[in-house]
Amino acid sequence: MTDIDRRAAEWMEAIAGLNFRPMKLDLARACLLVIDMQRCFLDGGDQGERARAIVPNIDSLTKLFRLHNRPVIFTRHCDPDPAAERSLLAEWWGSPIYEGTKESQIVPALTPDPADTIVVKPRYSAFYRTDLKKVLRSRGATDLVVTGTMTNMCCETTARDAFMRDFRVFFVADATATATDEMQLSTLRNLAFGFAKIVLTNDILQSIPTPTGDPRETL
C-alpha cells in the first residue's frame, strides 16, 4: 500500500457517515476533468510532492476514459494580463501564472492527447468565463469525475459549481491533492455532505466494463 493509498483509506473512513448517497457512475454519460496539473503546482515543495503522488491515479483514469471514448478535459489556470484586467485572485497570491510560461504548462507525465479538450480558466472555478458547460452538454455528459489540484480551491470550487449546474459529481479522493491532509479532509467532508459522491480511483476502475464486456461492480 502506498502512502496515498493509506491516507485515502483514512479519509474515506472519516467521511463514511456523510458519504452515503447511492450514486452510480454512468460511464456512457461521464466526463473526466483533470484540474490544473501544471508545472507551477507540481514543481517543488510539499504541495508539489503531494500533487506528484496522484499523477499515476490520474493517468490510469485518463487511459480508461479514452479507451471507452469518453471525454477527458484538462484545465489550465492562467491569470489575465494585469494591464487589461484586474484579478483579485492573482493579487491575493502575488504569484500570477501567465499563458505561455513554463509554469502554465501541464506536466509531461499527463500530456493531453489530441482528442482531449483543454480549458483555460482565469479563476478557481473551471466554469467561470469558460465554455466548459457547453462542452459537457455537447458530449451528453451528466456525470463529472473530478481530479487534480488543489483540492480545496479549484477542485472544490469547480465541484460545487458543477453541482449547481445539475451535474452529478464524483470527486476522487486519491486523485486530488492539496497542501495538507487537514485541508484535504475538510473538502471531502464538505463535498460529501452537500455536493458530491467521494470515491477512490479503484472504485471507478473496477466499476467500468473491460474491453471484452465483462461486468464489474458498480459504484
Q: Would you list the DSSP string of the chain?
A: --HHHHHHHHHHHHTTTT--------GGGEEEEEE--BHHHHSSHHHHHHHHHTHHHHHHHHHHHHHTT--EEEEEE-PPPTTT---HHHHHHS----TTSGGGSBPGGGPPPTTSEEEEESSSSTTTTSSHHHHHHHTT--EEEEEEE-IIIIIHHHHHHHHHTT-EEEEEEEEEE-S-HHHHHHHHHHHHHHT-EEE-HHHHHHHSPPTT-------
* pLDDT recorded at residue 91: 92
* pLDDT recorded at residue 211: 60
Q: Is the pLDDT of residue 215 over 80?
A: no
pLDDT grade for 207, boundaries at 50, 70 and 90: confident
| Residue-wise pLDDT tens digits, 133-176 | 999 999 999 999 999 999 999 999 999 999 999 999 999 999 99
- Highest average pLDDT, of 44-53, 85-94, 111-120, 209-218, comes from 111-120
* pLDDT recorded at residue 45: 78
* pLDDT recorded at residue 217: 42
Q: Is the pLDDT of residue 114 over 60?
A: yes
Q: In the chain, where are the structural domains located?
A: 3-14+26-207
Q: Is the pLDDT of residue 214 over 70?
A: no
Q: What pTM did the predictor assign?
A: 0.94
Query: What class does CATH assign to 3-14+26-207?
Result: alpha beta
